[in-house]
């Protein structure tokens, strides 16, 4: 087994929880990423965009839709220096409009994932993985993209056992 990297994009502040908007200090996807990294080891890396999305949840979703519509690649503050030493990359994100946020595709476009295993996971409030697995496969030819794990954002705090068991099966 080679080295593992858990990469994630997450949103703090206003989030959607089963019909209500509430503010959270730690993003749902970040929480799940930490559970995965704790279970399987390796390194943890957060994707952070250069631009700040609207604090208001509804406005943020509109910004996300506009980016998706034009297939944008928002600039990131940093990327891992290299993925050379990693064989398995757990890739986490919230499901925004049926797929990963465009910032995740910025990350995917920055590297050659040939021969790597990508294990996607996402948080959402009922939309599951959407088309993200297919979209990642298309973006990363030559990678082994596994079936993903979908966690309801409102369950993220209580998902450690589920996330850990799933992650261990994928290494």
How far apart, in whole angstroms, are the C-alpha atoms of residue 85 and residue 75?
24
Model pLDDT for residues 48-86, shown as the tens digit of each residue: 999 999 999 999 999 999 999 999 999 999 999 999 999
| pLDDT over 70, % of the chain | 99
The whole-number pLDDT of residue 1 equals 52
Q: What is the CATH number of domain 3-169?
A: 3.40.50.360
pTM (2 decimals)? Answer: 0.96
The whole-number pLDDT of residue 27 equals 95
Alpha helices in 54-159 (DSSP H): 57-69, 102-109, 132-139
Contacts 24+ apart (CB under 8 A), 112-116: 112/142, 113/83, 113/89, 113/140, 113/142, 113/143, 114/141, 114/142, 114/143, 115/142, 115/143, 116/83, 116/86, 116/87, 116/88, 116/89, 116/140, 116/143, 116/144
The structural domains of the chain, with segments of one domain joined by +, span 3-169
pLDDT exceeds 80 at position 19? yes
Helix (H) or strand (E) holding 150: strand 149-152
Are the C-beta atoms of 134 and 143 separated by less than 8 Å?
no
């Amino acid at each position: 087994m080679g080295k593992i990297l858990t990469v994630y994009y997450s949103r703090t502040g206003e989030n959607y929880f089963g019909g209500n908007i509430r503010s959270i200090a730690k993003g749902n996807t970040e929480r799940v990423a930490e559970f995965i990294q704790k279970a399987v080891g390796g390194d943890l890396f957060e994707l952070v965009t250069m631009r700040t999305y609207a604090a208001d949840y509804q406005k943020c979703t509109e910004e996300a839709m506009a980016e998706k519509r034009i297939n944008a690649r928002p600039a990131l503050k940093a990327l891992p220096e290299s993925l050379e030493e990693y064989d398995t990359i757990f890739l986490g994100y919230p499901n925004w409009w049926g797929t990963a946020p465009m910032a995740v595709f910025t990350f995917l476009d920055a590297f050659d994932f040939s021969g790597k295993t990508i294990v996607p996971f996402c948080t959402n409030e009922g939309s599951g993985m959407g088309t993200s697995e297919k979209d990642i496969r298309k973006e990363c030819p030559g990678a082994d993209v596994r079936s993903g794990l979908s966690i309801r954002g409102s369950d993220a705090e209580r998902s450690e056992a589920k996330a850990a068991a799933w992650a261990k099966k994928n290494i």
